Amino acid sequence: MTARDLLARDRRSVWHPYNASPAVGPIYPVRRAEGTRLYLEDGRELVDGMSSWWAAIHGYGHPALVEAIERQAKDMAHVMFGGLTHRPAVELSEKLASLAPDPLERVFLCDSGSVSVEVAIKMALQYQQGRGRPKKQSLLTVRGGYHGDTFGAMATCDPVNGMHTLFRGALPEHHFVPPPSPSFGEPWDEAHIGELKGRLEQRGGEIAAVILEPVVQGAGGMRFYSPRYLERVRELCDEHGALLILDEIATGFGRTGRLFGCEHAGIAPDIMCLGKALTGGMMTAAATLATGEVAAGIRDSAPGLFMHGPTFMANPLAAAVSLASIDLLLQSDWQARVAAIEEQLVRELAPCRELAQVKDVRALGGIGVVELCDPVDMDVVQPAFVDRGVWIRPFGRLVYTMPPFVIEQGDLSRITGAITQVVRDHT
C-alpha cells in the first residue's frame, strides 16, 4: 500500500484531532519511529521537534521501555482496579509519591491528562464538602491557561481566547484573572498578584481551588512566568482556604529543567496532575497526586469515597512502562541535557528576533518558542517544515519546539535552522 492509498483510506474513516472529517490540511503517514526520527511512508525522514506532543522524552523505541511492556504483557496486560491491585500500580504510586514534593502522598492513577484534571477538580470539590464548606464550588485560574479537552478541564481554559469558546455557554463558569506575570527572570512586584489576590479576598467563600500550570503556560500560549507568582499563590491559597492544583502534565519530568515545574518556586501543591512524559510517550497514562489532608477531607464527605473510577486506570502495561521511563530519566544526566538544549535554543533561535514578523523569542529548559505577530498559515508552514526534514507543529501565532531530551546537537540545529528559515520565508 502506497502513502497515497493510506491517505485515501484515512480520509474515508479517520477523524484527526482539532480537524474536520475528512481532514483539511496536510496529513503525513508515518511508517515507523525510532530514536529522534519519524520515517514517513513515502520514504522521507524527519527529525522530531515535538516529542509527540511533548511526551516522548527518551525518543522512540527505547529498548528499556519496549522491554518493560513486553515483560509485563506476558504476565498481565490489564485487570480492573476495583477491588484488585497489582505490583506495577503499587510500585508506580510509591515512586511518584517519593519524587513529588512533600506532602503529596496519595496517587490516583488514570488514563489521560484531561482525566487527571477532571479528577483534581472533583477531589477539590469533595474535599471542601468534607470540611464543611459546601459553598466552595468554583475554581479560580488565569487567562491563557490550558488544562485539557474534557468538559471539566475545558471550563478552566481561557474562555475568550482559548480553543473551547464554542462550548462557553455549556460550561461551568469559574473565576478568571489576567495571565501570570512578570515573565520568567524579570523583577517581581507585588502588583503582579493584585487581581488574583483581590478575587480571593472578594470571592474566597465560593472558591474551592486555584488551578495553574506552574511556570509555563503550555498550549494556551507558551508563556514563561516568574516562580515568585507561584510562591504568592501558594500563600494566598492558604490564607483563604483554597486548595492549590498544579497541572504538571506538560512541565513534569524535567521539561523546564527541574523535575517538576513547581520546584522553581520551592512550593508544593495540594493536588498535582501528571501525564504526557509519564510513560515516555509509549502509552497513554496519567496520575493525580494529593496530600493526606485532601484524602482525609474526602473521607469525611458523603459518601466517604472518591467518586471516580476509569475503566483502564492503573493499567499494568502503562504502570510498568511508566516505572521504566522514570528510572531511565533519573539514571541519566537529564539536567545537563536539558540545560544544553536550553542554551542551544537561546543561541540558535536568536536570529529570529531580527525578523519583522516576530513578536518574541524565548526558551526555558527543553522549550523553544518563536511568537509571531500574526497566526501562521498551516497549509503553507507545515509542508515547509517537512520539506526541510523536521517535524514541527505550530499553532496560532506560535512556532515552537519541545524536542526529546536525547536529541543530538546537530539534529537540534537542524530544527532551529528550519524554524528560522520557515519563519523568515513563509510567515
Note the pLDDT tens digit of each residue in 2-29: 999 999 999 999 999 999 999 999 999 9
Q: Assess whether pLDDT exceeds 90 at residue 165.
A: no
pLDDT category of residue 265 using cuts at 50, 70 and 90: very high
Using CB atoms within 10 Å of the CB of residue 12, give its burial: 0 to 12 exposed, 13 to 18 middle, 19+ buried: exposed
Q: Give me the residue label for grid cell 474526602.
A: 298
Using CB atoms within 10 Å of the CB of residue 4, give its burial: 0 to 12 exposed, 13 to 18 middle, 19+ buried: exposed
146 is catalytic: yes
- The pLDDT, as a whole number, for residue 320 is 98
Name the catalytic one among 197, 276, 400, 411: 276
Cα gap 132→289, rounded to integer Å: 22
Q: Assess whether pLDDT exceeds 90 at residue 174.
A: yes
Q: Assess whether pLDDT exceeds 90 at residue 244.
A: yes
Q: Residue 33's beta-bridge partner residues?
A: 38
95 is catalytic: no
Question: Are the beta carbons of 159 and 176 closer than 8 angstroms?
Answer: yes
Name the catalytic one among 247, 270, 400, 411: 247
- The pLDDT, as a whole number, for residue 308 is 96
400 is catalytic: no
Note the pLDDT tens digit of each residue in 80-121: 999 999 999 999 999 999 999 999 999 999 999 999 999 999
Q: Where are the domains of the chain?
A: 3-61+333-426, 76-330
pLDDT category of residue 154 using cuts at 50, 70 and 90: very high
- The pair phi, psi for residue 364, each rounded to 5°, is -150, 125
Note the pLDDT tens digit of each residue in 345-395: 999 999 999 999 999 999 999 999 999 999 999 999 999 999 999 999 999
- The pLDDT, as a whole number, for residue 159 is 84
pLDDT category of residue 132 using cuts at 50, 70 and 90: very high
User: Given this structure, which CATH class describes domain 3-61+333-426?
Assistant: alpha beta
Q: Assess whether pLDDT exceeds 90 at residue 163.
A: no
**Average confidence (pLDDT) over 263-272:** 98
**Average confidence (pLDDT) over 324-328:** 98
**Average confidence (pLDDT) over 133-162:** 94
**Average confidence (pLDDT) over 318-334:** 98
pLDDT category of residue 298 using cuts at 50, 70 and 90: very high
- E strands, 87-218, are 104-110, 138-142, 175-177, 207-212, 216-217
- The pair phi, psi for residue 262, each rounded to 5°, is -65, -15
Listed range (156-160, 259-263, 342-346) with the worst mean pLDDT: 156-160
- Neighbouring residues of 374: CB distance < 8 A, sequence distance ≥ 6: 357, 397, 427
Give the relative orientation of helices 316-330 and 63-75 as an angle to the nearest 10 degrees. 150
Q: What is the DSSP string of 206-241?
A: GEEEEEE-SSEETTTT-EEB-HHHHHHHHHHHHHHT
Arithmetic mean of pLDDT over the chain: 97
Sheet holding 104-110, edge to edge: 104-110, 286-291, 271-274, 243-247, 207-212, 138-142, 175-177
Q: Assess whether pLDDT exceeds 90 at residue 160.
A: no
48 is catalytic: no
> Quick check: do 3-61+333-426 and 76-330 share a fold?
no
Cα gap 290→100, rounded to integer Å: 10
Name the catalytic one among 146, 225, 229, 400: 146
DSSP structure class, residue 60: B
Q: Residue 36's beta-bridge partner residues?
A: none
Q: Assess whether pLDDT exceeds 90 at residue 169.
A: no
The CATH code of the domain at 76-330 is 3.40.640.10
- The pLDDT, as a whole number, for residue 162 is 82
Note the pLDDT tens digit of each residue in 189-225: 999 999 999 999 999 999 999 999 999 999 999 999 9
Note the pLDDT tens digit of each residue in 35-71: 999 999 999 999 999 999 999 999 999 999 999 999 9
- The pLDDT, as a whole number, for residue 164 is 84
